[in-house]
Amino acid sequence: MILRAISSVGIGLWLVLAPACAGDAPARSAAEIMDILMWNREPVGGPFELVDHTGHIRTERDFRGKLMLVYFGFTYCPDVCPTDLQAIGLAMDRLGSDADKVQPLFITVDPERDTPQHLADYVPLFHPRLIGLTGSLDAIHKAADAYKIYSAKVPLGKDSYTVDHTAFIYLMDRDGGYLGFFPPGTSADRMIEIIRPHLAR
């Protein structure tokens, strides 16, 4: 599928997501969103109010003072999300004691299936400090819009669906400001190379 192609081929195929798929019509196309990110056309990030995998309400203000690694995906994602979450977990492990200064967040683009309970079974597979976030459709849409995430439900047969989504790992500074993004498939070591200088500041 599309997501599989992206994970194996990389950057060049992000734009393959551009044709609108059946299902929920996203507000903006993937191509538009890529332009915004690549050419810095609009701010990335901002306030959110979501529910974590332990059932507590969390806002972006809870993470002030730490760098944030923000990843949008969904737990039924067959390979891209697990691969990137594994890399995030590995980066956290390799940061050693500096990992305390970084907060990884996994925000679902599939809140209907990704309940807090469901996230509680999922996020610890990748790292004990990974926080899973879900919420109402509206709250998730707001967060996804703020982070310039493209996602669209795609029906799989009669009763099932998957979600096409952009899989960027955002790095945010201690005040919640946008520093940049890692493309899907970025290695843990590459993440650390970028993160470390920001920890020293």
List of residues contacting Ni ion (CB under 5 A)? 73, 77, 80-81
Closer CB to Ni ion, 73 or 135, in the complex:
73
Closer CB to Ni ion, 48 or 106, in the complex:
106
Closer CB to Ni ion, 70 or 80, in the complex:
80
57-59 and 49-52 strand pairing: antiparallel
Q: Output the smallest distance, CB 168 to Ni ion, in A.
A: 11
Closer CB to Ni ion, 43 or 78, in the complex:
78
Please report the DSSP string for the chain in residue order. -HHHHHHHH-GGGGGGG-SPPSSSPPSS-HHHHHHHHHTT-S------EEEETTS-EEEGGGGTTSEEEEEEE-TT-SSHHHHHHHHHHHHHHHTGGGGGGEEEEEEES-TTT--HHHHHHHGGGT-TT-EEEE--HHHHHHHHHHTT--EEEEEETTTEEEEEE---EEEE-TTS-EEEEEPTT--HHHHHHHHHHHHH-
Which residue has its beta carbon closest to Ni ion?
77
Q: Output the smallest distance, CB 65 to Ni ion, in A.
A: 29
Q: Output the smallest distance, CB 75 to Ni ion, in A.
A: 9
The whole-angstrom separation of Cα 17 and Cα 94 is 33
Q: Output the smallest distance, CB 16 to Ni ion, in A.
A: 14
Q: Output the smallest distance, CB 165 to Ni ion, in A.
A: 6
Closer CB to Ni ion, 80 or 195, in the complex:
80
